[in-house]
Amino acid sequence: MDLQPIPDMNETDSVPPIFEPLCAVFRRRLKADGQKYTPERARVLDAVIRMEGPFEAEQLVEDLRASGYRVSKATIYRTIKLMQDAGIVQRVLGGDDVPRYQMIYGAKPDDTIVRVDTDEVISIDIPELIELRDKICAKYGLSPSSHRFQIFATGNDA
Amino acid sequence: MDLQPIPDMNETDSVPPIFEPLCAVFRRRLKADGQKYTPERARVLDAVIRMEGPFEAEQLVEDLRASGYRVSKATIYRTIKLMQDAGIVQRVLGGDDVPRYQMIYGAKPDDTIVRVDTDEVISIDIPELIELRDKICAKYGLSPSSHRFQIFATGNDA
DNA sequence: CTTGGTGCAAACATTTTGCAGCACA
DNA sequence: TGTGCTGCAAAATGTTTGCACCAAG
């Protein structure tokens, strides 16, 4: 996922969904609920955007601290929850059962084989899946923002 | 005392169509690691088999208790972990972020659209996916036991 | 002066672990 | 006897909440 500009705090309006900067998506959603796009929330969003692939909440804490920002854990978790409501991130479990968060808004697809005998996770690339996905969503009148495909498998001997 | 063999899988008429009885898979895996197929473990496995779809650990506790068995939480969790190692269950998160466990050995595929704007989960049926999945696994020399396909989407207006 | 946001610490929910005793080979 | 298994209670992990205070409209 590419870099986003540092979130600005200016006015918002309607822009084509998928190409709209994330901060605008987030801000719009907050506004709709009578909530505010605060500096803390902007920093958490910024840290989330910088993450590549699934990340732990603790990484956000460290990242922000390393950037010289002090945002409390409570605010980080509260912001994550807001971002979930806004359809920006999702909570997921890795093969190691560690809870992580993951961008789902406009994120790269996440296709993996999980080897249940070794816990190894193999990333695979299946372009056909996107086609299939979009076709299915169209049938339901929905707009896909991302997907996740996990195959559970073992070695042929196990 | 409890030397009497645990019901191999007798009272489980509602077991999904599997190729090898699950208890055999489990027992074999345990044996390979110098571990034992105890009455407690058999009962936990039995409870897991009876579950339909994803379930919470607590449900196992209650289920077993309701059946008149007292298996400690510690043993239940320890057994779940063994079953994960054996490729029988997987930990997953629902749209509500509640951690659940799910059969993956011989389980029906779990293909869903998650509406991130409403948290609604729509089950879909994509037979082509199994074909695709098996092809991919073959390429890696692996045997698929199940898969999970989640599409994250919103209504076209949201 | 009302509404929403923050940090802190305490509470919470789920899972893991240390330990003493038990069962079987 | 040694190895593994169990229950219990305590600990650990990851997340949420209550509260006092702050800030913007």
- Determine which helix (DSSP H) or strand (DSSP E) holds A143, and give its type and residue range: strand A142-155
**Residue to test with chain A: of B84, B101, B151, B157, most A Cβ within 10 A:** B151
A84, A151, A158 member nearest B144 (Cβ) = A151
State pTM to two decimals.
Answer: 0.76
Instruction: Assess contact for A23 and A16: CB atoms under 8 A.
Output: no
pLDDT per residue as tens digits for the range A23-72: 888 999 899 889 999 999 999 999 999 998 899 999 999 999 998 888 99
Name the closest residue on chain A to residue B29, using Cα atoms.
A158
Instruction: Assess contact for A115 and A154: CB atoms under 8 A.
Output: yes
Q: Which residue is nearest to nucleotide C4 (CA to C1')?
A: A35
For residues B25, B28, B31 and B37, what is the CA-based torsion angle, rounded to 10 degrees?
Answer: 50
Q: What percent of chain A has pLDDT over 90?
A: 39
Q: What does the alpha-carbon distance between residue B73 and residue A66 come to, in Å, rounded to a whole number?
A: 40
Asked if the Cβ–Cβ distance from B154 to A142 is below 8 Å, we say yes
More confident residue, A94 or B47: B47
pLDDT confidence bin for B61, thresholds 50/70/90: very high
| pLDDT surpassing 60 at residue B132 | yes
Instruction: Assess contact for B88 and B79: CB atoms under 8 A.
Output: no
A87, A141, A155 member nearest B116 (Cβ) = A87
Give the number of other Cβ atoms within 10 Å of residue B16's Cβ. 13
- Residue B87, CB, less than 7 Å from strand D? no
